[in-house]
Structure 1
């Protein structure tokens, strides 16, 4: 970790899917401070359950750099862009990064909250309905969704736990 200068800010890097750890290592090798928040998730296979460390914010990581040096970070293999607003990179405060680090290291169980919008196309990725796609028609509770699945030109409503859903692009 380098000593940071006052011009350095935490910028948000948007990455290709499933490459966050590799990109974080590459950016760190450029002598920049890089932060990829991780959480532990249990994944079940037919013969075992394994605990994996996954990015807390898929496709995103944080890099502390001088915004004038952003092109070095953008040159890293797998980086798509810096998150920007009105053409300027978005900076995250040191306090926000500290809060995320505190939550990550507290030892509490972390769950990712999904921000699906009503009318969004979703796919069931776990359970007996795995593979079915539908439209989110309403949010039933904070932990479950009602999804409309068009089958044989009809629609049915089904409650699906939110961890079983994935946004379809």
Structure 2
């Protein structure tokens, strides 16, 4: 018999991750919603920092299907469905959520890659959100100079290292 206790994935309705977590918690389920810090430029040219889900449309919940009435999860406000393998809840790999919790500080996941020159990185926030670039150098104050390939030329931008993650 397979042991299904541990962390499971819950699919939420669009942009309803926090509501789903709140209602699951009220029912006694432990939940975790990993978030990334995101920055954007306002019309007044000010930077606004917000938190957005690391996995949009999904939250994690911890329970033992053998001892909990888990079918109630599907009818919880904000929840679309509990992800299953057949008729049983799909369990996440042991240690995955715990590792994400270790990387979380100040309410968001902060990837602490050893970013160095010539690394290929993805930008996680700001006007170049989700762009891929190459680290051209490191500057003072936890910042990196990233080379972005535009249509006709390459452009160097300076960005916080915490807004970067290495890509394969």
| C-alpha RMSD of matched pairs (Å) | 3.2
Q: How far apart, CA to CA, are the structure 2 residues paired with 1:12 and 1:61?
A: 6
Counterpart for residue 61 of structure 1: 59
Higher RCO structure, 1 or 2 (CA under 8 Å, sep 6+): 2
Cα drift, residue 76 of structure 1: 0.9
Structure 1 unaligned regions, length at least 5: 1-5, 115-125, 128-141, 145-157, 160-169
Count of residue pairs the alignment pairs up: 116
Q: Deviations over 1:106-153 (max 9, x none)?
A: 754699899xxxxxxxxxxx78xxxxxxxxxxxxxx817xxxxxxxxx
Q: Deviations over 1:29-69 (max 9, x none)?
A: 11110111112110222113211111111000011122252
Q: Does 1:31 align with 2:28?
A: yes
What SS does structure 1 have at the residue aligned with 2:104?
helix
Cα drift, residue 72 of structure 1: 1.8
Cα drift, residue 25 of structure 1: 1.1
Q: How far apart, CA to CA, are the structure 2 residues paired with 1:90 and 1:113?
A: 31
Cα drift, residue 100 of structure 1: 1.2
| 8 A contact 1:39–1:104 mirrored in 2 | no
Q: Does 1:44 align with 2:41?
A: yes
1:103–1:65 CA distance, 2 compared to 1 (3 A): same
What SS does structure 1 have at the residue aligned with 2:69?
helix
| 8 A contact 1:56–1:112 mirrored in 2 | no
| 8 A contact 2:83–2:90 mirrored in 1 | yes
What SS does structure 2 have at the residue aligned with 1:41?
strand
1:87–1:8 CA distance, 2 compared to 1 (3 A): closer
Q: Which sits farther off after the overlay, 62-71 or 99-108? A: 99-108
Q: Does 1:14 align with 2:16?
A: no
Q: Does 1:143 align with 2:132?
A: yes
Q: How far apart, CA to CA, are the structure 1 residues paired with 2:112 and 2:56?
A: 18
Counterpart for residue 73 of structure 2: 73
Cα drift, residue 19 of structure 1: 0.7
Counterpart for residue 82 of structure 2: 82
What SS does structure 1 have at the residue aligned with 2:76?
coil
